[in-house]
Structure 1
Amino acid sequence: MERQRLDKWLWHARVVRARTSAAALVERGHVRINGMRETSPGHGIKVGDVLTIALDRGVRVLKVVGFTERRGDAESVTGLYADLGMPRE
């Protein structure tokens, strides 16, 4: 798989709890891909893209490193992205 829908990837990576929440997050303009605001949930992302996501509890900066066909448990998402945000204490 070379590309995946933005809303689907956000849901698979467990950034949000539901795919509809992922679509709403994107439509409201809270997601940037490589610094450019994206408002289309169906926009295709690829490995290497950097997503900046504004959430209620802060901002996450994630680099896409992989895709999956299904949403897995919390352990399985570690191979989908690299967290580029500030180290947490």
Structure 2
Amino acid sequence: MRLDLALCRLRFVRTRSAAREVIESGHMRVNGIRVERVSQPVSAGDVLTIPRGDRVAVIRIEALPERRGPPAEARSCYTPLDRAGTDPLAAPRDTNGAQGNRP
């Protein structure tokens, strides 16, 4: 199955056009390898790294959905590998609201 179609059917994006934008941005990875081709084939067992705003989703495809069904059906087709949904390489955010070295 094509990567853009898989992203749409797994409900990570609403349309294949949106999937194209995500893939062509250069931040999408399949099995740890950066991809920019929307036609990149994916199959069950592949690990996808998907940028989602300020977070990153890492999933393993368990089955390829036949259609874009309800969210519960889509979730049953993959396993999240990063439960927190954050980029492990991102710098930790300042939670107390302080900015720089200001007093």
Q: Which runs of 4+ in 1 moved over 2 A?
A: none
Runs of 5+ consecutive residues of structure 1 not aligned to the other structure: none
Q: Secondary structure at the match of 1:25?
A: helix
- Counterpart CA distance in 2 for 1:30 and 1:12 is 20
Q: TM-score, normalised by structure 1?
A: 0.88
Q: Look up the match of 1:39.
A: 36
Q: RMSD of the alignment, in Å? A: 1.3
Report how many aligned residue pairs link the two structures: 85
Greater RCO, CA 8 A, separation 6+: 1
Residue identity over aligned pairs, in percent, reads 35
Q: Look up the match of 1:8.
A: 5
Counterpart of 1:70 (choices 54, 67, 84) is 67
Residue pair 1:60, 1:85 contacting (<8 A) in 2 also: yes
- Counterpart CA distance in 1 for 2:14 and 2:78 is 17
Residue identity in the other structure for 1:64 = I
Q: TM-score, normalised by structure 2?
A: 0.77
Residue identity in the other structure for 1:17 = R
